[in-house]
Amino acid sequence: MGRILVTGACGQVGTELVQALRERYGADSVIATGHVTKPTREFRESGPFQYLNVLDMERIAEIIVDQDVEVIYHLASVLSAVGERNPQLCYEVNINGTYNVLEAARRHKVGSIIYTSSIAVFGRGAPKYNTPNETVMIPSTMYGVTKVCGELLGTYYHEKFGVDFRCVRFPGIISAETLPGGGTTDYAVEMYYAAVEEKPYKCFVSRKTVLPMMYMPDAINALINLAEAEPSRLIHRVFNVHSMSFSAGELEESIKRIIPSFKCEYEPDYRQAIADSWPKSLDDSAAREEWGWKPAYNLQRMTEDMIERLRKKLKGKEDTVGEKSGL
């Protein structure tokens, strides 16, 4: 088997995906790449890392050939909230970058491409509840527009050129390890951090805002399980994946069951309109039937694990500061 290349490896999903892939296939088998976000020293030292701008197709091709790349996880992307502040950059990275990865993979016969899309592809006209795998896609953000384009490009490359393109549509992703990177669902992670740090939190969506979410361990399993799925079982190329749906207020209450003193206020900003345009839940029956998708976490189990992990993380930082100061 050739090696695995991960674009956007320093992002929220990429950081934990690289770790999981290296544990599964061996550190030297997974090449992490990034462009804007600087990797930590531990991340660089855990296995191969190369700087890569996905707008540079020749550099992508060079890494594919020189490193004998067989599988690409294409995660490099400008997210929704950042994309609305800078739609031109969002277009360049998300559309042209994805085209470059697909075209380089076609030219150099990469085995498969695993692409991360989003619920942002849906918008006006799509059912809000139990949104089908195949339905109208009229997104209201540049991020959503670019993800629709990425899905269609990948499907075209599969049908026209035989590129083994596989895609998951993620809901909001919640992680204890890596800070969010400018998405509309960032409030969920920020709420957990504030609670563990014993700080009040001002939420940028309303208390009643319901969105589908997923805990990072489930997200990593979804990507790897889809990548390893038997090709003959796959009827679709793009898959909804669903785990749980809850309101911002329900998230607050789940935290208060463990940290009763936590205080949260709600002051919606421009991201409220983005959240309102997205589905509340997804029909992921295609993923369950074709490659056995099944999430492991619900809201309360996720909250318990998040708080436990963040407390350990915070204590570790405090211990490090104490050692450096001689305390």
Domain boundaries in the chain?
3-176+212-240, 186-209+245-277+298-325
Which pair of tokens denotes residue 130?
A: 């139990």
Say what the pLDDT of residue 291 is: 98
Least confident window among 120-134, 194-208, 256-270, 304-318: 304-318
Q: How far apart are CA 57 and CA 38, in angstroms?
A: 21
User: Element (H or E) spanning 103, and its range?
Assistant: helix 97-107
The three-state secondary structure class of 234 is coil
> In CATH, which superfamily holds the domain spanning 3-176+212-240?
NAD(P)-binding Rossmann-like Domain (3.40.50.720)
Taking only the tens place, the pLDDT of each residue in 102-132 is: 999 999 999 999 999 999 999 999 999 999 9
Angle between helices 97-107 and 142-161 (to 10 degrees): 10
Adjacency order of strands within the sheet including 30-34: 49-51, 30-34, 3-7, 69-74, 112-118, 164-170, 238-240
**Averaged pLDDT for residues 153-168:** 98
Contacts of 235 (CB under 8 A, 6+ apart): 286, 290
Residue type, 99: Y
Query: If residue 82 lies in a helix (H) or strand (E), which one and from where to where?
Result: helix 80-85
Residue count (the chain): 327
Q: Considering the chain, what percentage of its residues have pLDDT values greater than 90? A: 86
Tokens encoding 32: 């992490």
Mean pLDDT lowest among 71-85, 174-188, 211-225: 174-188
Sequence-distant (≥ 6) Cβ neighbours of residue 51 within 8 angstroms: 33, 34, 35
Active site residues: 143
How much is the pLDDT for 325?
Answer: 47
106, 50 contact by CB (below 8 A): no
pLDDT tens digit sequence for 65-76: 999 999 999 999
Mean pLDDT for 166-185 is 88
Residue 318 has pLDDT above 70, yes or no: no
| Residue 316: predicted pLDDT | 75
Burial 300-313 (b: 16+ CB within 10 A, else e): eebbebbbeebeee
CA distance 137 to 128: 12
Nearest in space to 239 (alpha carbons), one of 254, 260, 225, 259: 225
pLDDT interval class at 327 (50, 70, 90): very low
Mean pLDDT of the chain: 93
